[in-house]
Amino acid sequence: MLLFGKKKEEEKEAPACTCNAGPSVSEADGTASNCCSEVQNGICCIKILGSGCASCHALYKNTKEIIQKMGIPAETEYVTDMQKIMEYGVMSMPALVVNEKVVSMGKVLKSADIEKLLQKSGF
């Protein structure tokens, strides 16, 4: 039962996205837009979508470590609500969402891989 208690603790630590925007799509090219006007250094919010399994927790931990190392001012939110996960069109978890755009799904990324994705996202 420790795993479940830990999950609840991590969810409480991670505040919601500052803009609380849902996934949005640009009409021109079909890509997701920045989720809010408060984007700092290209990244506004980072979310981990998952069911609460060990793989999801590992991606959450790796992501928190790399954003701290890179000095990114965004917080990492851990989303387990299946309705919200389905809004992103994610069918395989864990998934990494940056600025409301799904950048990875279905695998636990290593820190170096997360860093590359964040750099591509504008940081």
Catalytic residues: 53, 56
The token pair that represents 117 in the structure block? 């994705």
Based on the number of CB atoms within 10 Å of its own CB, is 117 exposed (0-12), middle (13-18) or buried (19 or more)?
middle
Distance CA 100, CA 44 (A): 9
The side-by-side arrangement of strands in the sheet containing 95-98 is: 76-79, 46-49, 95-98, 101-105
CA distance 44 to 37: 9
Tokens 């890509």 found at? 31
β-pair type (46-49, 76-79): parallel
